[in-house]
């Protein structure tokens, strides 16, 4: 069972560690030290629910419901373009990007953005429900449960490491220019992902 748990743990981290919209958002909130605990919990618990659904066999169903994937793809693309625009707009005002300066993002807005980054991203479903769920088929009984637990633990490890580990970069981001570069990179990532999603509809 340990081997199954380790396989799920490593696979989950390898799938979610790629820089994407959700990770970029958690990184920025971690740097600003705003609502880190609740946002990391939301991301990790969402993954836990989706992984459990995938291991339970929902992955096959999602693959067959094209309308669901299409709806999520359209909504996700629009959201990514909009958030990318906001990131570029922040980059044009570097004085407002100093660590600890400027108004904080209200908890309600931060949670709403986090949920949108999580559930409007079709790749989240493909990675957790479909891929992790499909690969769990090679295990049976307790080993399959251990695989799921390992995958969920991998998600918790990644998001909390990203959210709280971002504080180690605080000295770098004490300069407005660093925040400006980060937001430009975030904007580029958001627009690239949005374009990729839009291209999948064509």
Specify the DSSP class assigned to residue 97: G
pLDDT of residue 155: 95
Are 117 and 25 in contact, with CB atoms under 8 Å apart?
yes
pTM of the model: 0.75
Chain centre to alpha carbon of residue 36:
14
Mean pLDDT of 35-39: 96
Q: What is the pLDDT of residue 94?
A: 58
Is the separation of the CB atoms in 100 and 186 below 8 Å?
no
Provide the terminal-to-terminal Cα distance of the chain, rounded to the nearest Å: 43
Q: Is the dihedral of CA 97, 98, 104, 110 positive or negative?
A: positive
Question: Of 111, 125, 116, whose CA–CA distance to 15 is shortest?
Answer: 125
Distances (CA, A) of 115 to 29, 41, 121, 168, 181: 14, 11, 10, 26, 25
* Stronger pLDDT, 70 or 9, i.e. the higher one: 9
Question: pLDDT tens for residues 88-125?
Answer: 888 887 554 444 444 578 999 999 999 999 998 877 88
Domain ranges within the chain, ordered by starting residue:
2-10+19-201
pLDDT the model gives residue 103: 57
pLDDT tens-digit map of 46-69: 999 999 998 887 655 655 667 766
Q: At residue 120, what are phi and psi to the nearest 5 degrees?
A: -100, 10
CA 181/CA 175 separation, integer angstroms = 10
* Predicted local distance difference test score (pLDDT) of residue 64: 63
Whether the per-residue pLDDT at 1 is higher than 80: the answer is yes
In tens, the pLDDT along 141-189 reads 898 899 999 999 999 999 999 999 988 877 877 777 877 887 888 788 8
pLDDT score, position 68: 65
CA–CA separation, 122 vs 131, rounded Å?
12
Contacts of 168 (CB under 8 A, 6+ apart): none
What is the band of 129 on the pLDDT scale with cuts at 50, 70, 90? confident
- Residue 181 pLDDT: 85
């Amino acid at each position: 069972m340990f081997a199954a748990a380790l396989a799920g743990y490593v696979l989950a981290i390898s799938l979610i560690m790629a820089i994407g919209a959700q990770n970029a958002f958690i990184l920025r909130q971690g740097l600003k030290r705003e609502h880190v605990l609740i946002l990391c919990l939301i991301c990790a618990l969402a993954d836990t629910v989706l992984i459990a659904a995938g291991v339970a066999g929902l992955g096959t169903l999602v693959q067959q419901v094209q309308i669901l994937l299409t709806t999520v793809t359209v909504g996700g693309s629009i959201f990514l373009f909009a958030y990318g625009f906001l990131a570029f707009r922040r980059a044009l005002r570097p004085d407002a990007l100093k660590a600890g300066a400027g108004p904080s993002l209200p908890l309600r807005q931060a949670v709403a953005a986090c949920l949108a980054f999580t559930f409007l991203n079709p790749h989240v479903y493909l990675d957790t429900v479909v891929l992790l769920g499909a690969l769990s088929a090679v295990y049976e009984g307790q080993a399959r449960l251990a695989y799921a637990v390992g995958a969920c633990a991998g998600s918790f490890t990644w998001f909390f490491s990203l959210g709280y580990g971002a504080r180690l970069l605080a000295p770098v981001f004490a300069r407005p220019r660093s925040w400006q570069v980060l937001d430009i990179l975030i904007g580029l990532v958001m627009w690239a992902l949005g374009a990729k999603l839009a291209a999948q509809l064509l």
